[in-house]
């Protein structure tokens, strides 16, 4: 019977393999000063790579009497020297195998190790009769606690301090360094947490995945796993300790899930190495047309994996996540933080690749019910009041709050590449009203003395009406964004969530292809983006470039393949292909023109 555990995806790749444990014990035992408790909770004898954890070493040595203060100081100094030597070696190896910037964490470790405050506090404790081990343990305890109490990146310094402390304790205990460089092929490494040096030893060819109970996706270990391309899920929690050695585990670093004892079908799916190497540069066709390849995001946490996958920007940042699963709408500041976070994450990429961060205002209604708004499945369904229709009428207050947050981000240091678009617009009046609201809100904010700016503005092309009015829309906004999922539903009048209608949900239906073509033809000076599933299919990239789409936006995982496809395209040939496809009258003809059958 398979089970699933969820954490945070650190490397957006998948793998399946056999569990080997490193450090099965939780460091929660840190709080337990009692040596007996520590022994009772030790259930790690069955782990292949178990090493005594730092706290049990410290506890053991607590009872070890100090030889003499002078001898203990000598032991501490020798251990420090040995630790520096190890760090130098690991720094070199990591620089070689992973990269210079990942190696620099060892410089930080070295400076923590050599910190005069630590040194003097260890020496004082030794003078007071403590063993070197106890003195080291105590000297680090205060700083670790202090950093843990701080936010974000500072909290991760606590991990650095633990690594340094544990290294010293291990050297003092005379144990060898943990060697993870020669694990068997197809190993999934499970750990409470991994140190950067543990992670840097892992062989990407052999290791099928890494899963940790603790740690975030910005921990050094996660960053190194990502650089090595090892599928990784971090922060799974204590449930991980229930997974035994030798068990088969499938690791999905995209969704952040692991499947324990997966069935045959899952094993097959996870075994396919779907991840292609990311291309971090902007790409152009073989004959020099730049195509922006961007990511669709559902929340700020998806920004980092998208950047890792080589996204030039964000073509669709869905904001509904802010509104769902809660009892009341999000505040302006909460929204500001979320939009600012994504803009900040992409600032460098957008500047280098000419990309944007396109935020769609809340597309509520349709298939996205929100309890506290009291929406009705029919009244606010696919053909009812949803998207911009709600934003301009009964939920104008939500719209205003969201626009205030967005315009403030546009006026911030990272706001240059922000773009905002409106969903489900079907009339020019709606678009004019929405644009007016943005300008009014910027004026209000400025009058309040708040920094704000009008971002680039765009409109979703999702309805037949918007296709027919694309020229009028293009005169009013900076860009058009074709949402192929809804466009297919509305062009073919076939509701998305009805099984009976599945066969109609084909963006390669001639009517949809022609709607896309008409939109591009009518777009004038506005740039045209596509953000539906269709945009992420590398088999269709040539067709879309030939149709004249400027930006393709998709799930991060397909970005490398689509970027590769762009580089192979000859623009003239792609345009000829698009002309052939636009002329097709049946789905079968479209498929055969593209060469899909």
Complete DSSP assignment for 288-305: S-EEEEEEEESSGGGHHH
Nearest to 162 by CA among 200, 116, 198, 123: 198
DSSP 335-346: HHHHHHHHHHHH
Nearest CB to other proteins, comparing residues 347 and 453: 347
Rounded-to-integer distance, Cα 578 and Cα 90, Å: 54
Question: Catalytic site residue 531?
Answer: yes
Alpha-helix runs per DSSP H in 257-395: 264-271, 303-308, 332-353, 388-392
> CB-wise, 108 or 435, nearer to other proteins?
108
Q: Cα–Cα distances in Å, from 515 out to 99, 491, 505, 520, 529?
A: 47, 8, 15, 9, 14
The DSSP line for 464-528 is HHHHHTHHHHHHHSSEEEE-HHHHHHHHTT--TT-GGGGGG--TTSHHHHHHHHHHHHT-TTSEE
Contact 91, 106 (CB under 8 A): yes
- Annotated catalytic residue 417: no
84/206 with CB nearer other proteins: 84
Host H or E run for residue 233:
strand 232-234
State the minimum distance, in angstroms, from the CB of residue 116 to other proteins: 6
Q: Which is nearer to other proteins, 349 or 571 (CB)?
A: 349
Report the distance separating Cα 358 and Cα 477, nearest Å. 13
For the chain, the helix, strand and coil percentages under 3-state DSSP, each to the nearest 5: 50, 15, 35
How many Å separate Cα 298 from the centre of its chain? 10
Least distance from other proteins to the Cβ atom of residue 108, Å:
4
Q: How far is the CB of 151 from other proteins (least distance, A)?
A: 9
Query: Of 343, 350, 407, 531, which is the active-site residue?
Result: 531
Distances in whole angstroms, Cα of residue 35 to Cα of each of 62, 107, 175, 242, 470: 9, 34, 20, 23, 73
Q: C-beta of 202: minimal distance to other proteins in Å?
A: 21
DSSP structural state of residue 146: H
Distance CA 487, CA 479 (A): 17
Smallest distance from the beta carbon of 576 to other proteins, in angstroms?
42
Q: How far is the CB of 97 from other proteins (least distance, A)?
A: 18
Task: Tell me the CB-side half-sphere exposure of residue 232, using CA atoms within 13 A.
Answer: 31
Nearer to other proteins by C-beta: 249 or 345?
345
- Residues near other proteins (CB under 8 A) are 101, 104-105, 107-108, 110-112, 114-118, 143, 146-147, 150, 153-154, 157, 160, 348
The least distance separating other proteins from the CB of residue 295, rounded to whole angstroms, comes to 18
Distance CA 535, CA 538 (A): 8
Virtual torsion, Cα 373, 376, 382, 384, nearest 10 deg: -90
- Closer residue to other proteins (CB): 69 or 99: 99
Distance of CA 36 to the CA centre of its chain: 42
212: β partners: 191
Q: How far apart, in whole angstroms, are the C-alpha atoms of residue 137 and residue 395?
A: 57
| Of residues 70 and 351, the one with the C-beta less far from other proteins | 351
CB of 442 to other proteins, least distance (A): 25
Q: 259 vs 304, which CB is nearer to other proteins?
A: 304
Task: Pick the catalytic residue from 220, 340, 356, 395.
Answer: 220
Pairing of strands 283-284, 207-212: unpaired
Upper half-sphere CA count for residue 249 (Cβ side, 13 Å): 32
* Cβ-based neighbours of 89, under 8 Å, separated by 6 or more: none
User: Strands 290-297, 314-318: parallel, antiparallel or unpaired by DSSP?
Assistant: parallel
Cβ at position 148, least distance to other proteins in Å:
12
What 3-state DSSP class applies to 348? Answer: helix
Q: Rank residues 138 and 580 by Cβ distance to other proteins and give the closer one.
A: 138
Contact 195/222 with Cβ under 8 angstroms? no
- The residue length of the chain stands at 597
How would you classify residue 524: left for phi > 0, otherwise alpha for psi between -120 and 50, otherwise beta?
left
| Nearest-approach distance from CB 477 to other proteins, in angstroms | 32
- Closest separation between CB of residue 351 and other proteins, Å? 13
Give 62 or 280: the residue with its C-beta nearer to other proteins. 280
Catalytic residue ranges: 220, 531
């Amino acid at each position: 019977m398979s089970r699933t555990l969820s954490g945070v995806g650190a490397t957006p790749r998948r793998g399946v393999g056999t569990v080997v444990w490193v450090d099965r014990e939780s460091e929660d035992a840190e709080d337990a000063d009692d040596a007996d408790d520590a022994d009772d909770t030790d259930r790690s004898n069955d782990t292949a790579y178990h090493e005594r954890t730092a706290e049990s070493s410290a506890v053991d040595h607590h009872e070890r009497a100090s030889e003499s203060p002078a001898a203990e100081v000598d032991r501490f100094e020798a251990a420090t020297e040995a630790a520096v030597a190890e760090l130098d070696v690991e720094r070199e190896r990591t620089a070689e195998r992973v990269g210079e910037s990942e190696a620099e964490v060892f410089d930080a470790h070295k400076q923590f190790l050599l910190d005069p405050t630590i040194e003097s506090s260890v020496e004082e404790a030794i003078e007071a009769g403590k063993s070197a081990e106890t003195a080291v343990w105590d000297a680090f305890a205060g700083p670790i606690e202090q950093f843990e109490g701080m936010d974000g990146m500072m909290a991760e310094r606590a991990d650095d301090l633990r690594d340094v402390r544990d290294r010293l304790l291990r050297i003092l205990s005379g144990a060898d360094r943990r060697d993870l460089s020669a694990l068997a092929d197809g190993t999934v490494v499970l750990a409470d947490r991994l140190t950067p040096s543990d992670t840097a030893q892992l062989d990407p060819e052999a290791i099928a995945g890494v899963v940790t109970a603790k740690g975030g996706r910005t921990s050094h270990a996660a960053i190194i796993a990502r650089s090595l391309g090892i599928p990784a899920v971090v922060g799974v929690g204590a449930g991980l300790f229930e997974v035994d050695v030798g068990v088969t585990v499938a690791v999905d670093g995209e969704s952040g899930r692991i499947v324990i004892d997966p069935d045959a079908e899952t094993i097959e799916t996870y075994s396919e190495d779907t991840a292609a190497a990311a291309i971090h540069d902007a790409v152009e066709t073989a004959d020099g047309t730049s195509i922006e390849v961007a990511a669709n995001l559902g929340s700020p946490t998806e920004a980092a994996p998208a950047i890792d996958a080589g996204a030039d920007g964000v073509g669709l940042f869905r904001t509904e996540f802010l509104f769902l699963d809660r009892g009341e709408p999000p505040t302006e500041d909460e929204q500001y933080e979320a939009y600012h976070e994504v803009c900040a994450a992409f600032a460098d990429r957008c500047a280098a690749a000419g990309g944007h961060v396109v935020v769609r205002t809340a597309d509520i209604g349709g298939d996205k019910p929100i309890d506290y708004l009291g929406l009705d499945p029919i009244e606010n369904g696919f053909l009812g009041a949803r998207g911009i229709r709600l934003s301009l009428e009964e939920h104008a207050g939500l719209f205003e709050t969201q626009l205030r947050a967005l315009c403030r981000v546009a006026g911030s240091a990272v706001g240059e590449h922000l773009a905002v678009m409106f969903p489900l617009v079907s009339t020019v009046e709606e678009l004019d009203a929405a644009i007016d609201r943005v300008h009014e809100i910027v004026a209000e904010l400025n009058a309040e003395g708040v920094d704000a700016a009008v971002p680039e503005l765009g409109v979703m092309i999702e309805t037949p009406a918007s296709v027919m009015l694309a020229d009028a829309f293009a005169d009013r906004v900076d860009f058009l964004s074709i949402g192929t999922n809804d466009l297919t539903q509305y062009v073919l009048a076939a509701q998305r969530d009805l099984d009976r209608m599945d066969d109609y949900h084909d963006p390669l239906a001639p009517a949809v292809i022609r709607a896309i073509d008409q939109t591009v033809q009518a777009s004038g000076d506005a740039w045209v983006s596509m953000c539906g599933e269709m945009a992420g299919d590398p088999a269709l990239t040539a067709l879309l470039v030939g149709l004249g789409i400027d930006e393709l936006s998709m799930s991060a995982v397909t970005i490398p393949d689509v970027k590769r496809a762009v580089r192979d395209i000859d623009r003239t040939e792609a345009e000829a292909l698009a002309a052939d496809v636009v002329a097709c009258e049946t789905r079968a003809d479209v498929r055969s023109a593209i060469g899909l059958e």
